[in-house]
Amino acid sequence: MAEYEGSMALLPKSIGPTFDSDAASGAASPSGNTDMAYSSDPDYRPTIGILLYPGYTLLDLAGPQIAIGNQGNTLLFWKDKNPVRGDNGPELVPTTTFAEYDGNIDVLLVPGGFGVEDAMGDPEIIEFRRRAAKTARIVSSACTGTLLLAAAGLLDGRKATTHWFVYGAIEKNFPKIELVREARVVVDGNVFTSGGVTAGIELGIRLLEEAKGARVAATTELAMCYDPEPPFGTGSPSKAGPDLLKAAIKYAEKIGTEKLWLAAP
């Protein structure tokens, strides 16, 4: 496994005082420009390739996939075709091995999860990410999947976002990345990254907009009833306050003591 600076001790002081009130302004907004679509062919179906690894978070891949998947084709990649278990239990069966990859994907999606630290240091995963990134039109990550792109050197010199748990880890270990805090989705060239977990749904809608145009993406957003009204409005650190931040960190440490990589700046 690759060695990175970091520990489970994500100190509250490394979060609260460093958040700007306008941090989310770095999030890319929908363009509404159908000219961005890959193809004007209404029958065009983009292929999304999703990287599996032990300990992925199911919603990190299911959220984006449900948005773009009905308009395209989905491939699940892993070293072999044995079921791969997520971080909270569910298993998915890969459709395609790394060795079988033939450059046939439009979008590479890398989910996050409690297994991200082990995946970061896996040479086979690193090699596949780099190989797929060379041929995919879009490279994307959800949640802490940003760390996997970063470890492969795919985010150097780019803006990106991730789950707030690992802001410090990104800044300490990958200083060439321009981290955009509290953004839901950040687009830099052909690289799309999203914030934690649920932001992956918005990532999927943005990917669909890029592939099929704004009208298709907007229609899909409507069909999905994607109009969130969070019960407590505490879904980002700047809205939650220090007490909830401490509680969330303890929760993460409890459920993933050796699998979630937390690091203070």
Average pLDDT over residues 68-73: 92
Among 125, 143, 160, 166, the one annotated catalytic: 143
pLDDT at position 228 over 70? yes
Among 173, 172, 136, 176, residue whose Cα is nearest residue 160: 176
pLDDT value for 153 = 95
Burial class of residue 254 in the structure, from the number of CB atoms within 10 Å of its CB (0-12 exposed, 13-18 middle, 19+ buried): exposed
Domains of the chain as residue ranges with CATH? 23-231 (3.40.50.880)
Known catalytic membership, residue 225: no
205 contacts 217 by C-beta, under 8 angstroms? yes
- Per DSSP bridges, beta strands 84-85 and 91-92 are antiparallel
Confidence category of residue 79, pLDDT binned at 50, 70, 90: very high
pLDDT digit string, tens, across residues 151-165: 999 999 999 999 999
pLDDT value for 2 = 45
| Percent helix, strand and coil across the chain, each to the nearest 5 | 40, 15, 45
Cβ-Cβ contacts under 8 Å for 41 (sequence gap 6 or more): none
pLDDT digit string, tens, across residues 192-208: 999 999 999 999 999 99
pLDDT at position 24 over 70? no
